């Protein structure tokens, strides 16, 4: 036992504790130095793009999940929408003024394939105006030659006279180039892809503009008379023999090659469908009973849901609608078609920036411009399968000068595109299932589909198919969705030929 009274013990204890404390301090300082060194080294050695590739955090996942829920339409809801859709088709067939206009097209015959002759076809329905020369050679053969012209925003939103003069001028140029004299008598089919109350096969009044057009003095006017007058001002010897919607043209031209075709659908800048209906199923039709017993009906389905009841609109959709020139109209179209999908996505992205969930809240002034995010970008982003979404990074940089996106940001952007695009396809499937159910063709038929969204948005077709299966079960397998390309002009020429005979 050591003697506790020994005077050297306090000195020994003091020395011991001081030693321990000092070594602890030294160790602490050394560890801190080491940690600091690791962080500094890490920061200087890891390149910027690897920092960018920080995986989505739980916060990003929570954001993605929230947006997913906002845009998801469960199967049961789809079924209810289908029932409501068929009812609204019936309402439109019964009386004018319904949400879905269900306009009788006056086209009651399908081409037999034996029609011959050379016709002009015009196609106006968006930014591009097409002039075609269509030669029907008989035996189902068709030759076409066409030229596209751009309809500027000024023309779309200017006066009706300027717009129709422009159309006549384009035809004049086309004829000149084709070596056809201006005074040659030509018959023409006019595809005019807006809601027109048809009054004859070559007469119809524009009910309202859609897809951003607002040209003055055209609503409530017969568009054939306006076009005919523009030709007259240029001393052109052209007779407008048929006025058709693009959906009707698509149906007519596809039926020419596949007689099982019962509907023509456009999934492009706008969306709409036409189908073959039995005349007895159109109580509002007061004209003569056609020999065929049927008529093509232009549904103008884009306006479905204008009473806001069956559509699963989000606050982004409502904002888009409030800022559009036709508020309260074309609500179904505004959730499906190419003119609007990019715009919905833009609103979601702006919102996520505002909440700080995207780009750490950094403002992107360019993204604030209306319609600055084209739907084509969504398809490009969805096709970006690179590990670090480098194509998306490039696109964000090119379009908006964003150089600081993290992988988590890009994941969010990609998911938003996916949710908005998937919802659109599922909604379009409701319409297709609606037509097939209404005309009882669940045992098999062909639906011809044209338009940029269907053609170029890679996943769109498959998503429509998946939703059709959810809606119709096995029956959906016997429905052929056929890609139709540029058929509406050809269809207009065919209808002009039929009208003439």
CB of 221 to ligand GLC, least distance (A): 16
In the complex, the smallest distance separating the C-beta of residue 270 from ligand GLC, rounded to whole angstroms, is 2
Marked catalytic residue, from 53, 123, 130, 488: 130
Q: Does position 266 bind ligand GLC by CB under 6 A?
A: yes
First and final CA of the chain: distance in angstroms? 129
Query: Which lies closer to ligand GLC via its Cβ, residue 317 or residue 333?
Result: 333
Pick the stretch among 96-104, 242-250, 321-329, 348-356 that binds ligand GLC (CB under 6 A).
242-250
CB of 207 to ligand GLC, least distance (A): 9
User: In whole angstroms, how close is the CB of 266 to ligand GLC at the nearest point?
Assistant: 4
H-helix segments, 146-272: 153-157, 160-177, 223-233, 246-257
Contact segment (CB under 6 A) with ligand GLC among 46-54, 142-150, 179-187, 264-272 equals 264-272
Residue 287: phi and psi, rounded to 5, are -80, -175
The DSSP code for 400 is: H
Using CB under 6 A as the binding rule, the residues of this chain from 332 to 361 that contact ligand GLC are 333
Q: How far is residue 13's CA from residue 247's CA, in Å, rounded to a whole number?
A: 98
The minimum distance between CB 75 and ligand GLC, in angstroms, equals: 27
243 binds ligand GLC (CB under 6 A): no
Encode burial over 8-37: b for 16+ CB neighbours within 10 A, e otherwise: eeeeeeeeeeeeeeeeeeeeeeeeeeeeee
What's the min distance (Å) between Cβ of 333 and ligand GLC?
5
Please tell me the distance from the alpha carbon of residue 122 to that of residue 283, in angstroms, as a whole number: 32
Query: Binders of ligand GLC: how many residues, by CB under 6 A?
Result: 17
**Residues of span 107-126 touching ligand GLC by CB under 6 A:** 125
> What three-state secondary structure class fits 493?
helix
Query: Which tokens hold the place of 402?
Result: 């964003």
Q: What is the dihedral of CA 459, 460, 462, 468, to 10 degrees?
A: 150
Alpha-carbon distances of 8 from 11, 15, 20, 22, 218, rounded to whole Å: 5, 11, 19, 21, 112
Min CB(472)–ligand GLC separation in Å: 24
Residue 332 and residue 271 in contact, taking contact as beta carbons nearer than 8 Å: yes
x-or-dash pattern for ligand GLC, window 123-162, by CB under 6 A?
--x-------------------------------------
Helix (H, G, I), strand (E, B), or coil: what is residue 211? Answer: coil
Task: Name the residue whose CB lies closest to ligand GLC.
Answer: 270
Applying CB under 6 A, among 193, 379, 405, 422 the residue interacting with ligand GLC is 193
User: 56 or 195: whose CB is closer to ligand GLC?
Assistant: 195
User: Which CB sits closer to ligand GLC, 194 or 231?
Assistant: 194
Q: How far apart are CA 245 and CA 251, in angstroms?
A: 10
Distance in Å, CB of 330 to ligand GLC, minimum: 6
246 is catalytic: yes
- Cα 273 from Cα 386, distance rounded (Å): 37
Query: Cα dist. 278→158, 284, 419, 430, 438 in Å?
Result: 40, 12, 37, 21, 11
Structure tokens at 343: 């715009």
- Would you say 56 or 92 has its CB closer to ligand GLC? 92
- Name the burial class of residue 220, with classes exposed (0-12), middle (13-18) and buried (19+) by CB atoms within 10 angstroms of its CB: exposed
Element (H, E) at 267: strand 261-267
Q: 177 in helix, strand or coil?
A: helix
Nearest to 274 by CA among 464, 453, 448, 465: 448
Q: Select from 143-151, 240-248, 281-289, 311-319 the region that touches ligand GLC (CB under 6 A).
A: 240-248
Considering only residues 133, 198, 202, 210, which one is a binding residue for ligand GLC as defined by CB under 6 A?
210
Instruction: Output the smallest distance, CB 345 to ligand GLC, in A.
Output: 20
Stretch of 2-10, 193-201, 255-263, 439-447 contacting ligand GLC, by CB under 6 A: 193-201
Stretch that binds ligand GLC, among 74-82, 174-182, 268-276, 361-369 (CB under 6 A): 268-276
CA angle 126, 129, 130 (to 5 degrees): 130
Q: Is 130 a catalytic residue?
A: yes
Selected from 106, 174, 194, 400, the binder of ligand GLC by CB under 6 A is: 194
Least distance to ligand GLC, CB of residue 258, Å: 21
> Would you say 133 and 145 are in contact if contact means Cβ atoms under 8 Å apart?
yes
Applying CB under 6 A, among 105, 272, 314, 345 the residue interacting with ligand GLC is 272
Phi/psi for 142 (5° steps) reads -135, 140
Q: Which of 53, 191, 228, 245 binds ligand GLC (CB under 6 A)?
A: 245
- In the bound state with ligand GLC, the residue whose beta carbon lies nearer, of 113 and 461, is 461
- Between 174 and 194, CB nearer to ligand GLC: 194
Q: Give whichever of 131 and 336 is closer to ligand GLC, judged by the CB atom.
A: 336
User: Which of 56, 204, 264, 302 touches ligand GLC (CB under 6 A)?
Assistant: 302
Q: At what angle do helices 407-438 and 58-71 cross, to 10 degrees?
A: 20
Which is catalytic among the residues 246, 317, 384, 409?
Answer: 246
Torsional class of 290: left (φ above 0), alpha (ψ -120 to 50), beta (otherwise): beta
* 297 and 275 Cβ atoms separated by less than 8 Å: yes
Task: Using CB under 6 A, list all residues that contact ligand GLC.
Answer: 125, 193-195, 210-211, 245-247, 266, 268, 270-272, 300, 302, 333
Query: What residues are labeled active site?
Result: 130, 193, 246
């Amino acid at each position: 036992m050591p003697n506790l009274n020994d005077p050297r013990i306090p000195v020994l204890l003091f020395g011991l504790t001081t030693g321990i404390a000092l070594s602890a301090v030294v160790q602490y300082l050394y560890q801190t130095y080491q940690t600091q060194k690791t962080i500094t080294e890490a920061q200087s050695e890891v390149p910027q793009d690897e920092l960018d590739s920080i995986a989505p955090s739980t916060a990003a996942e929570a954001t993605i999940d929230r947006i997913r829920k906002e845009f998801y339409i469960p199967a049961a809801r789809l079924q209810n929408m289908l029932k409501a859709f068929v009812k609204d088709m019936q309402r439109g067939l019964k009386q004018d003024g319904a949400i879905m206009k269900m306009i009788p097209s006056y086209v009651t015959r399908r081409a037999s394939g034996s029609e011959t002759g050379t016709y002009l076809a015009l196609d106006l329905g968006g930014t591009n105006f097409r002039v075609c020369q269509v030669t029907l050679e008989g035996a189902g053969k068709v030759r076409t030659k066409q030229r596209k012209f751009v309809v500027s925003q000024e023309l779309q939103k200017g006066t009706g006279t300027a717009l129709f003069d422009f159309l006549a001028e384009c035809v004049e140029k086309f004829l000149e180039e084709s070596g056809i004299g201006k005074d040659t008598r030509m018959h023409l089919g006019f595809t005019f892809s807006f809601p027109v109350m048809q009054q004859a096969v070559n007469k119809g009044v524009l009910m309202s503009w859609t897809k951003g057009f607002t040209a003055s003095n055209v609503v409530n006017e017969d568009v054939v008379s306006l076009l005919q007058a523009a030709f007259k001002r240029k001393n052109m010897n052209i007779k407008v023999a048929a006025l058709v919607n693009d959906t009707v043209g698509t149906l007519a031209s596809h039926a020419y090659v596949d007689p099982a075709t019962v509907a023509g659908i456009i999934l492009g800048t706008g969306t709409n469908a036409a189908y073959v209906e039995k005349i007895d199923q159109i109580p509002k039709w007061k004209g003569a009973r056609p020999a065929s017993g049927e008529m093509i009906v232009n549904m103008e389905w884009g306006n479905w849901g204008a009473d806001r009841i069956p559509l699963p609109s989000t606050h982004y959709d409502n904002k888009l609608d409030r800022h559009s020139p036709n508020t309260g109209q074309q609500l179904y179209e505004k959730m499906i078609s190419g003119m609007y999908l990019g715009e919905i996505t833009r609103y979601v992205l702006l919102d996520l920036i505002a909440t700080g969930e995207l780009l750490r809240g950094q403002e992107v002034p360019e993204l604030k411009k209306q319609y600055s995010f084209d739907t084509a970008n969504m398809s490009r982003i969805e096709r970006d399968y690179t590990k670090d979404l480098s194509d998306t990074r490039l696109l964000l940089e090119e379009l908006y000068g964003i150089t600081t996106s993290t992988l988590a940001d890009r994941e969010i952007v990609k998911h938003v595109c996916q949710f908005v695009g998937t919802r659109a396809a599922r909604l379009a499937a409701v319409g297709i299932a609606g037509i097939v159910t209404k005309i009882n063709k669940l045992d098999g038929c062909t639906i011809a589909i044209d338009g940029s969204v269907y053609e170029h948005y890679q996943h769109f077709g498959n998503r429509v198919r998946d939703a059709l299966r959810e809606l119709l079960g096995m029956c959906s397998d016997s429905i052929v969705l056929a890609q139709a390309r540029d058929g509406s002009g050809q269809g207009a020429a065919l209808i002009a030929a039929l009208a003439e005979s």
